[in-house]
A and B are shown apart, each in its own frame.
Chain A
Amino acid sequence: MSEVEKRHVVTLEINGVRRNAEVEPRKLLVHLIREDFGLTGTHVGCDTSQCGACTVELDGQAIKSCTVLAVMADGASITTIEGVSPVASRLDAVQTAFHEHHALQCGFCTPGMVMSVRQLLRDHPDANEDDIRHGIAGNICRCTGYHNIVRAVESLVAKD
């Protein structure tokens, strides 16, 4: 068996649940999340780490999960969009703000965008508009023109 085909066991905590999987060394974290764990809320929108649709939290830090090999996430704690809200039937504050401000249309970029906004608010709890636009610059949205996403984030800043 070549090195490429050799399998590695990866154990990690995802949305509070301990999971493991056998993976090829070339497998990306995003594919582990989507294919092995069936958490399809994390999306693949490009192949050059430009779009941010695959953004998740790794040990509390937002990252693009296409930039991390699955084997590198061994032992990590991951939060995906499915684990954002403490109550599965309800939206959390960021998700609620997106709904209230019509900050999503097709919804494809939305999970990654929500993960980036959570990071932005942790880094800049008093973010102004420039901070917000810069903070979500790693996530491409093709539908909203960003206007309402910025409004949604502003509403979260204003509440704090």
Chain B
Amino acid sequence: MNAPLPPYVGQPVKRREDFKFLTGKGRYVDDIKLPGMLYMAIARSPHAHAIIKNVDLGPARASPGVRLVLAGKDLDGRIGPIVPNWIIPGSRVPFRPVIAIDRVRFVGECVALVVAETLAQAYDAVDLIDVEYGVLPAVTDETAAIRDDAPQLHENVAGNVTTIYRVRGGDYAKAAQEADQVIQLRIANNRLIPTCMETRSVIAAPDPDDTLTVYMPSQVPHMHRRWIAETVGIPEHRLRVVAPDIGGGFGAKMHLYPEELLCPYLARELGVPVKWWESRSESHQSTSHGRAHTETIEVAIRNDGTILGMKVDTLGNVGAYLSNMATGGPTVNTVNFGTGNYKIANYEATSRIVVTNTVPVDAYRGYGRPEGAYIAERAIDAVARHLNIDQVEIRRKNFIQRTDFPYRPYGSMGTIYDTGNYDGLLEKALAAFDYEARCTEREALRRHGIYRGIGVAAYTHMCGMAPSRRLAMSGFDRGGWESARVAIDSSGRATVYSGSMSQGHGHVTSLSQIAADVLQIPIENIDVIQGDTRQVQAGHGTFNSRSMAVGGSSLHVCSQQIVAKAKKIAAGMLEVDEKDVAYSAGQFSVPGTDITPLSFAKVARMAYVGHKLPDGVAPGLDETVFYDPTGMSAPSGVHLAYVEVDPETGIVTILDYVAVDDVGTLINPMLAQGQIHGGVVQGIAQALYEEVSYDPDSGQLLTGSLLDYAVPRAEHVPNITSLFQETPSPTNPIGVKGIGESGSIAAPPCMVHAVLDALAPFGITHLDMPLTPPRIWAAVQRARNGANQ
């Protein structure tokens, strides 16, 4: 196969990182084994809510191979507490020790730890830890937790509500008065487990020079360095965080977990490497969950389908403590986007953050935007159903128009959609889906007792959180910039150091495409380094679909600086004025003259030998950029699904799925489609299969392993047609918008609408996710029984 030629951006360049993964040479944290390494295992609370009366560590300490056993009180005052990184102003932050001291608040909370010579010995000893609990009443559901008689989790969180957040624009009350009708709906956004195939794992290893290296699958290595340093009490410059290959993140690997603090603390105390590895079942009760909302919605409408206003009340269940970004998800990230792709001038939303006796809830692929899009889309679909207007027509009628951008929904100050062409997306999707033919087929089959349905969903959101000063306003203790360093060696080859962090995204390929086009060197001559705080200068990492828009842009600007400096050096070598030098196809030339052009490699060599540099030009060809974008990009899309529902079994068969997404300029369409495929399937999983269940009385986690939690397999999902429309974003120099979260935002409403459309002949207008066969079957039975009465 021939190597691809520039320009690389826009080409489906095959992944440069594949070989190691395909041959088993990928290196994940659990693959690392260090000399003298000890293993930590955690004793976890079996109760959702209890007082810790006594902890007996004696038998565990006497167990073979055990080096250390500690309970929460042993660490009290030494490390911690764990504090959130995003605190919406006005929030009450409960105290969260690294290990529970006198009270546990969810099944899975750490109560003690063992360090032993082997993992098996550590597990054996954990079984010998004897904790005496005084069980308290528990509450797991957000609607139950805000009742007056609900068990209270934290003394400083009255009524279990940490945060009340309000958004309003226009005058909803007036809109409701002027409306022909106000329709109401109540929707649940089911709690999910992100389920990266690689669970979390941490190794902390003391180095002889009094530094500490922490190996962990971190989406945000530099932020983890700061958080661990501050929480454990280690000078930040003495701490090195290394994130090797990561087996998926999806938001779950960007928070601060107890084990990430315990291993560094123990490694320093014991002077040897300490490793913790999370089993899958342990992961279900220790790694953050996602979603878990209840929403009540009012839509003020005219009978012609015009939407005058919307009112939203969100309850966001965040589990027992405020995880890293917990106050931001159900608030800024959700209700700000509640009007979706539609012109709705009058909007009023309240979001309450509710603590419960469950695993903490935090970011999961889309974080808030899937919930926001679900509000907007379920609302507009309800309007269409209620008024018997075609689901495509209702969207066309209310879409924000192409000429309206940049668009501030409901006159918002902070929410801005930079660009979009929703009608274009819709028309392209309808054509690819053959919408009219499918509608005809659906009607014909219904007459034969075959129930097919078409689902439509549109979405937009904002990603690539920036600029830094805006993050400060919303309560973030982080910035929105990203850094890039491009180091050219004396042969003209490049090493790129990026603060972004691939977890399967293919950044080695996509980032080198961006750099290669600016540097005009072959992609093979570019290496990409990420995930090592000692090598990479600084960074924020990968989340919020930010890597291309922010990380890619910083690399683009940095590469331009390399070319600018190389031009100066070339001018000196060619003995011409810098402004007369042109750079194209990897050659510095002087147009209009017969001066022999200079290759990039020759200029690079001169940069390092330094023999003939212009005055004021320092040796070397090595630039670093910290790039803070001017704003956020707003990807958008329209997805369509075609399903068949068997009313006798409740089984949903997905017949077709078409996704048309506008993610701005495409860096690599093959990788982009891969992101859509994966995101859509995670969204389908939310709609049809996955749900975390807690026993409402005992607070026990019922979906405690992959035996009980239905991650879809190849048989459960369809082929996906992924198409794009490119409307470049004006917020960054390469015109890209985020893509990673698009699929999981669009697919849930799209699938639910398709199933509800199939069930329309039964008069079923609402079902909560996941639309499992028992849930559908029961709804059909209810509808039939109702009809017979």
Are B28 and A43 in contact, CB atoms less than 8 angstroms apart? yes
- B-facing residues in A31-64 (Cβ within 8 Å): 34-35, 38-48, 50-51, 53
Q: Does A147 contact B (CB under 8 A)?
A: yes
Task: Please give me the residue from chain B that is nearest to A40 by CB atom.
Answer: B31
The smallest C-beta distance from B63 to any residue of chain A, in angstroms, reads 12
Q: Does A121 contact B (CB under 8 A)?
A: no
Chain B positions 1 through 40: 1 when the CB is less than 8 Å from some CB of chain A, otherwise 0: 0000000000000110111111111111011010000000
Chain A positions 77 through 114: 1 when the CB is less than 8 Å from some CB of chain B, otherwise 0: 00011101100100100010011101011111111001
Q: List chain B residues, Cβ under 8 A from A46.
A: 280, 705-706
Q: Does A142 contact B (CB under 8 A)?
A: yes
Are B198 and A45 in contact, CB atoms less than 8 angstroms apart? yes
Task: Please give me the residue from chain B that is nearest to A27 by CB atom.
Answer: B120
The smallest C-beta distance from B40 to any residue of chain A, in angstroms, reads 17
Chain B positions 662 through 675: 1 when the CB is less than 8 Å from some CB of chain A, otherwise 0: 00000000110110
Q: Does A76 contact B (CB under 8 A)?
A: no
Q: Does A26 contact B (CB under 8 A)?
A: yes
Say which one of B235-243, B469-477, B600-608, B714-722 lies at the interface with A. Answer: B714-722
Q: Does B535 contact A (CB under 8 A)?
A: no
Q: Does A128 contact B (CB under 8 A)?
A: no
Chain B positions 264 through 289: 1 when the CB is less than 8 Å from some CB of chain A, otherwise 0: 00000000000000011100000000
Are A100 and B14 in contact, CB atoms less than 8 angstroms apart? yes
Complex Cα distance, B27 from A124, in Å, reads: 32
Partner of A102, one of B14, B30, B120, B717: B14
Q: Max chain B CB contacts within 10 Å: which of A85, A104, A145, A148? A: A145
Q: Does B681 contact A (CB under 8 A)?
A: yes
Q: List chain B residues, Cβ under 8 A from A147.
A: 677, 681, 719-720
Task: Please give me the residue from chain A that is nearest to B31 by CB atom.
Answer: A40
Q: List chain A residues, Cβ under 8 A from B717.
A: 145-146
The smallest C-beta distance from B3 to any residue of chain A, in angstroms, reads 14
Are A146 and B706 in contact, CB atoms less than 8 angstroms apart? no
Are B713 and A107 in contact, CB atoms less than 8 angstroms apart? no
Chain B positions 238 through 250: 1 when the CB is less than 8 Å from some CB of chain A, otherwise 0: 0000000111101
Are A47 and B281 in contact, CB atoms less than 8 angstroms apart? yes
Known contacts A48-B707, A53-B197, A108-B247; decide if A142 and B678 are in contact (CB<8 Å).
yes
Are B706 and A102 in contact, CB atoms less than 8 angstroms apart? no
Task: Please give me the residue from chain B that is nearest to A133 by CB atom.
Answer: B714
Complex Cα distance, B1 from A91, in Å, reads: 14
Q: List chain B residues, Cβ under 8 A from A10.
A: none
Main DSSP-derived SS at the B contact region: loop
Partner of B674, one of A24, A85, A91, A105: A105
Complex Cα distance, B722 from A147, in Å, reads: 11
Complex Cα distance, B716 from A134, in Å, reads: 9
Are A91 and B22 in contact, CB atoms less than 8 angstroms apart? yes
Task: Please give me the residue from chain A that is nearest to B705 by CB atom.
Answer: A48
Known contacts A48-B280, A108-B28, A146-B714; decide if A82 and B681 are in contact (CB<8 Å).
no
Chain B positions 59 through 88: 1 when the CB is less than 8 Å from some CB of chain A, otherwise 0: 000001000000000000000000000000
Q: Does A29 contact B (CB under 8 A)?
A: no
Q: List chain B residues, Cβ under 8 A from A42.
A: 24
Are B23 and A85 in contact, CB atoms less than 8 angstroms apart? yes
Chain A positions 140 through 157: 1 when the CB is less than 8 Å from some CB of chain B, otherwise 0: 111111111110000000
Are A140 and B711 in contact, CB atoms less than 8 angstroms apart? yes
Are B280 and A102 in contact, CB atoms less than 8 angstroms apart? no
Q: Does B128 contact A (CB under 8 A)?
A: no
Are A99 and B706 in contact, CB atoms less than 8 angstroms apart? no
Are B120 and A24 in contact, CB atoms less than 8 angstroms apart? yes
Partner of B15, one of A99, A114, A139: A99
Say which one of B183-191, B377-385, B501-509 lies at the interface with A. Answer: B501-509
Task: Please give me the residue from chain A that is nearest to B719 by CB atom.
Answer: A147
Are A107 and B504 in contact, CB atoms less than 8 angstroms apart? yes
Q: Does A73 contact B (CB under 8 A)?
A: no
Known contacts A133-B715, A146-B681; decide if A51 and B22 are in contact (CB<8 Å).
no
Q: List chain A residues, Cβ under 8 A from B280.
A: 45-48, 50-51
Are B197 and A41 in contact, CB atoms less than 8 angstroms apart? no
Q: Does A132 contact B (CB under 8 A)?
A: yes
Are B198 and A150 in contact, CB atoms less than 8 angstroms apart? no
The smallest C-beta distance from A81 to any residue of chain B, in angstroms, reads 4
Q: Does B421 contact A (CB under 8 A)?
A: no
Q: List chain A residues, Cβ under 8 A from B250.
A: 142
Known contacts A145-B681, A147-B720; decide if A44 and B30 are in contact (CB<8 Å).
yes
Are A142 and B677 in contact, CB atoms less than 8 angstroms apart? no
The smallest C-beta distance from B557 to any residue of chain A, in angstroms, reads 27
Complex Cα distance, B680 from A77, in Å, reads: 40
Complex Cα distance, B673 from A143, in Å, reads: 12
Chain B positions 730 through 747: 1 when the CB is less than 8 Å from some CB of chain A, otherwise 0: 000000000000010000
Complex Cα distance, B713 from A46, in Å, reads: 15
A residues adjacent to B (C-beta < 8 A) = 5, 24, 26, 34-35, 38-48, 50-51, 53, 80-82, 84-85, 88, 91, 95, 98-100, 102, 104-111, 114, 129, 132-134, 136-150
5 examples of A-B residue contacts, CB within 8 angstroms: A98-B22, A105-B674, A107-B504, A142-B682, A144-B678
Contacts A41-B23, A98-B22, A137-B715 known; 11 new A-B pairs at CB < 8 A: A41-B26, A45-B197, A45-B198, A48-B281, A51-B197, A105-B248, A105-B506, A107-B245, A137-B714, A142-B248, A145-B678
Report, nearest first, the 4 A-B pairs whose CB atoms are least far apart: A41-B24, A107-B21, A106-B504, A108-B247
B residues adjacent to A (C-beta < 8 A) = 14-15, 17-28, 30-31, 33, 64, 120, 195-199, 245-248, 250, 279-281, 503-506, 670-671, 673-674, 677-682, 705-707, 711, 713-715, 717, 719-720, 743
